[in-house]
Amino acid sequence: EPEVTQTPSHQVTQMGQEVILRCVPISNHLYFYWYRQILGQKVEFLVSFYNNEISEKSEIFDDQFSVERPDGSNFTLKIRSTKLEDSAMYFCASSARREGPYNEQFFGPGTRLTVL
């Protein structure tokens, strides 16, 4: 069964460093998403991406964040200068459609980011 994969499973970085979290969505999906969950808190929407551009973003997704689909398979989240409060689990998701039938989002296992 097709699945969303994410690498690495755990990333440790120093404050101020740049990190890139990688995701491989399901191959025939067109819509891509990033969410995060700070430990003990809710899963929060960060950004959605379609047709090589951001379609929606939350207040959390500030100038420190960027997303890219560098090739036909990967979808990345970059944090330019990490802060302690960026420590969280980051989930990637993809869906075939945004609304209507086939709009179910399929989630990856997450990347745990620890900023020291």
Partner 1 sequence: GNSVTQMEGPVTLSEEAFLTINCTYTATGYPSLFWYVQYPGEGLQLLLKATKADDKGSNKGFEATYRKETTSFHLEKGSVQVSDSAVYFCALKKVFGYIPTFGRGTSLIVHP
Residues that bind partner 1 (CB under 8 A): 3-4, 33, 35, 37, 40-45, 48, 56, 91, 93, 95, 98-99, 103-110
Nearer to partner 1, 82 or 90 (CB): 90
Least gap, CB of 21 to partner 1 (angstroms): 14
CA torsion angle for 71, 72, 76, 80 (degrees, to 10)?
20
CA torsion angle for 114, 106, 46, 17 (degrees, to 10)?
30
Least gap, CB of 45 to partner 1 (angstroms): 5
Nearer to partner 1, 68 or 104 (CB): 104
| CB-CB contact of 26 with 114 (8 Å) | no
